[in-house]
Amino acid sequence: MIQAAADAQIEQAAAGAGPRVLLVSDNRDNANWGSRATTMALLELMAAAGLSPSDRVLDGEVRSRVALADGPVAGRLLRRPALARLAGAGLARGGRTRLSLERLGVRDAVSDDPAETVRRWRRSGREPLAEWIARVERADAVVVNGEGSMIFTTPSRLEQRFHLAVMQLAHEADVPFAYVNALVADPANGPRNAATVAATRRLLPQARLVTTRDPWSQAFLREVAPEVASVYVPDSVFAWKGRVGRGRDLLARPEYLTPFHERPDRLGTWDFQRPYICVGGSSEAAKDPKRAAASYRRLLQALPELGYPLVVTVSSTGDAFLEELAHELGLPLVPADTNVMVATEILAHAELVVTGRYHPAILAGLGGVPGVLLGADSHKTASVQQMLGYPDIHVFAEQPTAADVSAILQRARRVLAERQRWQEAIETALALRAAEARRLTGHLESLGQVSA
């Protein structure tokens, strides 16, 4: 119903009832519970501000690889559509394949320098680049859903480069733009990317609105880009407080909830009538799935000592290594393509979640459920504990060792023993976060006034 209402708002805007608003990174096409939930919540807040999108750039478009020629050899190569697609796939693969293509003069259409990126797009005249330019230039306002993209990794993140290019286009066309719901952070590992920091410092001050989704991002942005006027507004999904946690009757009929899966036997037996613990992955652990499989096998084999059945929650396709482990260990699996409201109710009715994922911690928290959190690709699993009002904050290694697993069990036992106190603390904090998240509507209204 929520997605249908948002789509209806988009259709109304497309029919000419209101300003032409382009939403960049509508992530509902992403097999990631947090990405989908946050976009759904953001669309509701945009609608309340009178800024329902008339156009949207989906996550699949943002993450697409478009190869451009830098020289005659590459030019001849990319004139053939099939070879152009292969070149884009080769750039995405990275490593030696990417280096070989770059020696031939094949370049990614999106670089660390957004001004150069826009020049490349304009020179090429190719699709979808020409259409991206046109979509920005015909908008009355552009809203960029930053979500988890602004982590200054080396090499840089594709979606971060794309967002910066859109900001550059909007700035050049004098189209007011907002950058909202933003995580801003250094990478968990590796050096800070000076080029994307410099581009951020140049472009974000041109935005009519910048909101960070957590206080740690707000503090970090002020440190690295003091010239940016930003506002801390909690992640849009906090605005769902009061809507989640009422699905106990729904969970009583799991046969109605299971998604289509190519191998349905891998889902195991869903049973949410007894108290259970949800176990999820980590954005940082997912970068090394072989090592993660060994680490999480150790964790999944130990957690039953707590006395509760386990439910493996794969909230993102990056955690696919957990699917094999769930099958190997005979555990029920809730895959990434599960309906996000169903997934949220599963998390929100658990006794405890153990995860290295930011949004599942929030979705569980909407039901008052505490978590034991592992490391991620940034500060996010620490900052979310502060926002959820946890009595104390601790982040375990994203690749837990035997010693880490023992410590996780110890903390989990303590949280379960004090669960009522934790639940009350979470619910108190959530009331504040929900009110703060809903203030995004007022901030967005100012963008609508500028574009009118």
pLDDT value for 103: 76
For 420-452, how does the pLDDT look when each residue is reduced to its tens digit (9 = 90+)? Answer: 999 999 999 999 999 999 999 999 998 867 555
Strands 371-374 and 395-396: parallel
Strands 106-108 and 67-69: antiparallel
Gap between the Cα atoms of 165 and 144, Å rounded: 11
Report the alpha-carbon angle 336-332-261, nearest 5. Answer: 45
Q: What is the CATH number of the domain that holds 58?
A: 3.40.50
User: Is the residue at 450 inside a domain?
Assistant: no
User: Closest by alpha carbon to 323, among 307, 337, 334?
Assistant: 334
Buried b (16+ CB within 10 A) or exposed e, 296-328: bbbbbebbeebebbbbbbbbbebbbbbbebbbe
Q: Are residues 143 and 178 in the same domain?
A: yes
The pTM assigned to this predicted structure is 0.92
Q: Are residues 328 and 387 in the same domain?
A: yes
The structure tokens listed for 183 are 């995580």
Q: Which residues contact 199 (CB under 8 A, 6 or more apart)?
A: 112, 113, 114, 164
108 beta partners: 67
Q: Are residues 9 and 153 in the same domain?
A: yes
User: Is the residue at 75 inside a domain?
Assistant: no
User: Is the residue at 23 inside a domain?
Assistant: yes
SS3 286: helix
Count other Cβ atoms within 10 Å, centred on residue 426. Answer: 25
Q: Are residues 113 and 33 in the same domain?
A: yes
Lowest mean pLDDT among 8-12, 54-58, 423-427: 8-12
Q: Are residues 336 and 401 in the same domain?
A: yes
Q: Are residues 247 and 228 in the same domain?
A: no
For 310-328, how does the pLDDT look when each residue is reduced to its tens digit (9 = 90+)? Answer: 999 999 999 999 999 999 9
Q: What is the CATH number of the domain that holds 319?
A: 3.40.50.2000
Count structural domains, the chain. Answer: 2
User: Closest by alpha carbon to 283, among 314, 312, 259?
Assistant: 314
Structural domain that includes position 121: 2-66+109-233
DSSP code, position 110: S
pLDDT value for 93: 64
What are phi and psi for residue 403, nearest 5 degrees? -65, -40
